Amino acid sequence: MKLFQGRIHGTASAPAGAPPSGLLAFYWHFVRQARGWFAAMFAASLAVALLDTVIPLFIGRLVSLMEATDRMAALEHETPVLAAMVALVLLARPLVLLLDVAIRHNALIPGATSLIRWQSHWHVIRQSWPFFQNDFAGRIANRVMTTAHALRESTMASIRAVFYIGAHGVAAFALMSLADWRLGLPTALWALGYVLFLWYFVPRMRDLARASSEVRSMVMARIVDSYTNVLTVKLFARLADEDAYVRESVDEHQRAMGRHMRLITQFHFSLTLMNAALLVTTAAIGIWLWAHGQIGAGVVATALPLAWQVSNVSGWVSWEVTGIFENIGVVQEGMQSIAVPHSGADRAGARALQVSRGDVRFEHVTFGYGRKDAPPVLNDLSLHIRAGERVGLVGRSGAGKTTLVNLLLRFHDVERGRILIDGQELAWVTQESLRAAIGMVTQDTSLLHRSIAANIRYGRPQATAAEVEAAAKKAQAHEFIVGLRDWRANTGYDAHVGERGVKLSGGQRQRIALARVILKDAPILVLDEATSSLDSEVEVAIQEELLELMQGKTVIAIAHRLSTISRMDRLIVLEAGRIVEQGTHAELLRLGGHYEKLWRHQSGGFIANELPENSVRSTEFQRVA
């Protein structure tokens, strides 16, 4: 029904606060945002339960009516009651059922699900980079998706099932006890047994459901991991190993489901015996009382349908309770990814970074990824990069180059010391404003599974199509882009690149990434092996564009291939987390230290000990060689 659709705006605004870690608090965090609709559902479900309870009472009245001697007089006398019965059955009950279904299916199911899923994703996507490095992306995504469904279903089932059986059971007991207290005794004993029954089974089902959900997430994680890295799987001909890797988790999931289903089987068999006992004892007591003339046939006709309804409802409720605690297990498992406080979050009172010049300072920075049993990756490092200066970082693998850049981007916070941009300490600026001021091209370029234009425009969303094309031309990407065609017949800049850009070669992906940074035009530029995937001819052309892009910017470039950074204003040589040398290319060659050795290894013994202009020529010789 359109009246109820869209009443809960799942993505209307950012969530207020992080999801709490306690189970009940986690539920209430989301439920309270749609509490009016859950309350309306409760009222509608309660009305349905009460109306269903009245129907056996009507049946009893009809049986009593049929026992009358003067049938026409009795029928005339009961006409108002019969009219009320017709109105309740033909009008009130269908309308209440319609309202109940409309609230659940048109308001709560789409709205609450979207709200929970959106806010969970909103919180998770703002986790730190290490958070995603330490888990499977497939498992995190699975938890975000399934937790929303499970939380909504368990909440709705609790309202419908638990309160329904409560209202139904109390009404049935009251009606039978009013006729004769002995007639209500089986229902009272059944209710006590039902509570003890749930007390025994429910915690066990919850624990088994949680274990089953955790293993199911692991199955999803391993399958997604295999699909994401399918090229590696095929290149190394390791299908059998992948089969074993996934089979192990599938078998474990089957065992977990088996334990869970065995308990559910015991649950339903026990409940069937309880319901049979309720029906038989109610019938026996009712017939005994009728036989001794203590109650009429109408009372028996009322009591038996009530007992039968309670039995049927309890069976339905048992399924619902099973689902409730299975979903609670899913929610508990999902909370391991969703109800996690943000690490490395902005400090209270953090301000947006204002970059006027691009002056960067590292002051006595020490960082070791929190490991106390190993020497720090960066050890008391101080470095001043002047505004507009182009600096190259050089050193062996593990020397600390990438760590230095990651600290500049605040993917991690320094353990000691501080980093400043234009005199503003990075610990006190917002991360979004910091990263907006830095353009970065990485060696391992990953593109979004969107169009070429969307990937380039990611650098500046408001850019026009002409600006996107201009950036692509500067990155030497326009020519191959216009020839692209994807599986949906999209061409050129509208063609999609596939997951992580798998439809493109490494060099093509890197050129798209360069175009994205060119379009962003940030005042600080970081290049981490930015041309490593390009062939020599394209690299030479792009380096000329990069020199133009670097004008007026502060540049930090990392390269193992020293020829690509030899024209930088200053080269910084790192070794074991410390700066051991710095200077121009020519100065470092004359010094005869770490840099000279690295250059000699890469140039095959050709060492230029001349002026910087000749050093550039030696770079070209090394590339041709």
18-37 pLDDT tens trace: 888 889 999 999 998 888 88
Please list, in sequence order, all residues whose beta carbon lies within 8 angstroms of the beta carbon of residue 562, skipping any fewer than 6 positions away.
Answer: 394, 595, 598, 599, 602
Identify the pLDDT of residue 378.
Answer: 93
Predicted confidence band of residue 625 (pLDDT cuts 50, 70, 90) = very low
Q: For residue 414, give the 3-state DSSP assignment.
A: coil
348-401 pLDDT tens trace: 888 999 999 999 999 999 998 878 778 899 999 999 999 999 999 998 888 888
Identify the pLDDT of residue 613.
Answer: 40
Identify the pLDDT of residue 262.
Answer: 85
What is the residue extent of each domain of the chain? 23-338, 360-437+522-624, 447-519
Identify the pLDDT of residue 6.
Answer: 61
Residue 211: Cβ within 10 Å count: 19
Tell me whether the CATH fold assigned to 23-338 matches the one assigned to 447-519.
no
Predicted confidence band of residue 602 (pLDDT cuts 50, 70, 90) = confident
**In the predicted model, is pLDDT for residue 521 greater than 80?**
yes
Residue position matching structure tokens 């910087």: 612
- Please state, in angstroms and rounded to a whole number, the distance separating the CA atoms of residues 530 and 560: 11
Residue 305: Cβ within 10 Å count: 18
Give pTM, 2 decimals: 0.68
pLDDT (mean) for 434-454: 85
CATH number for the segment(s) 447-519:
3.40.50.300
250-288 pLDDT tens trace: 888 888 888 888 888 888 788 778 878 877 888 888 888
**In the predicted model, is pLDDT for residue 2 greater than 70?**
no
**In the predicted model, is pLDDT for residue 72 greater than 60?**
yes
Please name the amino acid found at residue 389: E
- Please state, in angstroms and rounded to a whole number, the distance separating the CA atoms of residues 478 and 64: 89
- Please state, in angstroms and rounded to a whole number, the distance separating the CA atoms of residues 188 and 563: 87
Mean pLDDT comparison of 167-171, 245-249, 404-408, 595-599, highest-scoring range: 404-408
**In the predicted model, is pLDDT for residue 606 greater than 60?**
no
**In the predicted model, is pLDDT for residue 172 greater than 80?**
no
- Please state, in angstroms and rounded to a whole number, the distance separating the CA atoms of residues 197 and 508: 64
- Please state, in angstroms and rounded to a whole number, the distance separating the CA atoms of residues 515 and 275: 71
Homologous superfamily assigned to 23-338 = ABC transporter type 1, transmembrane domain (1.20.1560.10)
- Please state, in angstroms and rounded to a whole number, the distance separating the CA atoms of residues 116 and 122: 10
Homologous superfamily assigned to 360-437+522-624 = P-loop containing nucleotide triphosphate hydrolases (3.40.50.300)
**Nearest one of 495, 571, 504, 566 to 533, comparing CA atoms:** 504
**In the predicted model, is pLDDT for residue 559 greater than 70?**
yes
Identify the pLDDT of residue 452.
Answer: 92
Identify the pLDDT of residue 535.
Answer: 61
**In the predicted model, is pLDDT for residue 610 greater than 60?**
no
Residue position matching structure tokens 């274990």: 211
Identify the pLDDT of residue 370.
Answer: 78
Residue 409: Cβ within 10 Å count: 16
